[in-house]
Amino acid sequence: MANESSEPAIAVDVDGVSKRFTHRVKGEVWAARDVRFTAAPGAFVTLLGPSGCGKTTTLRMIAGFEQPDEGRILFGDDDVTQLPVNRRNIGFVFQNYALFPHLSVFENVAYGLQVRSQPTAGVAAKVGEVLALVGLAGYEQQFPAQLSGGEQQRVALARAIVIRPRVLLFDEPLSNLDAKLRVQMRGDIRELQNRLAITTIYVTHDQEEAMAVSDHIVVMNRGSVVQQGTAEDLYHRPASEFVATFVGRVNLLRGTVVASSNGIASVSALGGVFKARPGATPLAVGASTRLVVRPEAIAIERDGGLPARVTTRTFLGEKVEYGLRCANTDLQATRPSGGDDTIRVGDDVALRFADEALIALPETDR
């Protein structure tokens, strides 16, 4: 689009929204509980979490499909909490695309403009423009049933952005596509969003997808926000076991804090003592802890570290994954392929942990 954005992007404030419903078996359930986060103007924010964590409910409340029981939703300075969905000026992309089966691609995309009573000539121009933008020029007269999944996805995207919404909302838009197309589409969506500079909130359960597209990730579990930040924050500085295990792969080691100085804890685990940064909560000496060790932070050497035995070896192309047995604990480690590739199953090896990469979390019941 030539005029990249007619209006400046706005922030979206989700201010302590909650939603309860009554479950047939479980009784009263919090679908969302005091959810709070802010999407900066033009930012790409992802709600990430396992199914049932409340991310979709939160998104539907931002859209206006659900009414929060408590809390407010602000678009810029406007409190839209009570505003019906059709007056919020949002673009919503559904998981199943929700294309109108009886309308052609052109009519689907034009729908939102026609509802806004825009002049016919302008509608045609805008639809053509946006279809070209998503790579579907020439598809105007096709019907949704005649399109492939990826094409349907693009129509849904075009339909959402053609109305120049204040906010773009995505509800797991890629989950019906195959793996390769998913990677391509997520890149396209991110690029388009950059170009349009529309504040975007995106729901997914796929942590890799979330890390790939987001400026800011809000991790949710059981209806609540458990941590938010950039992808790097979440990966390198998880505040809880849940985030550590949900974002990326991880080894969690049982340990005890033996000393603490300058904010660095010394933790005894696997028969050794390691320096680790505490997560969000400082840890007292003597406290039980879980040590977070990412697989790539474990160096496998021939000697000079913790003794371990190789139990499995899996070649994955750009990297090799090893299963290790060390002090009666199973560990996973990865290293780039190439280089010294002589380590085999059954070998006795020595492990060293990159100290700066270790994090000590308080032990939870989870």
Interface mask (CB under 8 A) for other proteins, residues 23-52, using x and -?
Answer: --------x---------------------
User: CB under 8 Å to 347, separation ≥6 — which residues?
Assistant: 309, 310
Stretch that binds other proteins, among 100-108, 239-247, 274-282, 287-295 (CB under 8 A): 100-108
- In whole angstroms, how close is the CB of 277 to other proteins at the nearest point? 41
Q: How many amino acids of this chain bind other proteins (CB under 8 A)?
A: 34
Rounded-to-integer distance, Cα 200 and Cα 283, Å: 37
98 binds other proteins (CB under 8 A): yes
Tell which residue, 233, 366, 364, has the closest CA to residue 289: 364
- Smallest distance, other proteins to C-beta of residue 208, A: 26
Of positions 38, 81, 104, 245, contacts other proteins by CB under 8 A: 104
User: Can you tell me which of 62, 63, 196, 326 binds other proteins, judged by CB under 8 A?
Assistant: 63
Q: Which stretch binds other proteins (CB under 8 A): 69-77, 111-119, 121-129, 227-235?
A: 111-119
The three-point CA angle 220-230-256 to 5° equals 70
- Dist CA 126 CA 192 (whole Å): 16
Please give the torsion angle defined by the CA atoms of residues 351, 356, 361 and 363, in that order, rounded to the nearest 10 degrees. Answer: 20
Residue 295 to residue 169: CA distance in whole angstroms: 34
Residues 156 to 175: which contact other proteins by CB under 8 A? 159, 163
Rounded CA gap, 127 and 115, in Å? 14
Is position 234 an interface residue for other proteins (rule: CB under 8 A)? no
Instruction: Name the minimum Å distance from CB 60 to other proteins.
Output: 9
Helices 179-196/149-161 angle, 10° precision = 20
Instruction: Indicate the residue among 98 and 343 with the shorter CB distance to other proteins.
Output: 98
Does 83 engage in binding with other proteins (CB under 8 A)? no
What is the nearest approach in angstroms of other proteins to the Cβ of residue 41? 21
Residue of 65, 206, 229, 275 that binds other proteins (CB under 8 A): 65
CA of residue 293 relative to chain centroid, distance: 21
> What are the backbone dihedrals phi and psi of residue 160, each rounded to the nearest 5 degrees, phi first?
-75, -35
| Of the candidate residues 90, 293, 333, 351, the single one contacting other proteins (CB under 8 A) | 90
In this structure, the strands spanning 216-221 and 70-75 are unpaired
Task: Kindly indicate which of the ranges 8-16, 34-42, 143-151, 288-296 contains the residues binding other proteins, using the contact rule CB under 8 A.
Answer: 143-151
Helix (H) or strand (E) holding 109: helix 105-115
Give yes or no for residue 85 binding other proteins (CB under 8 A).
yes
Residue 202 as a binder of other proteins (CB under 8 A): the answer is no
Total H helices, total E strands in the chain: 8, 20
Contacting residues toward other proteins, per CB under 8 A: 21-22, 31, 57, 63-66, 84-87, 89-92, 94, 96, 98-104, 111-112, 115-116, 143-145, 159, 163
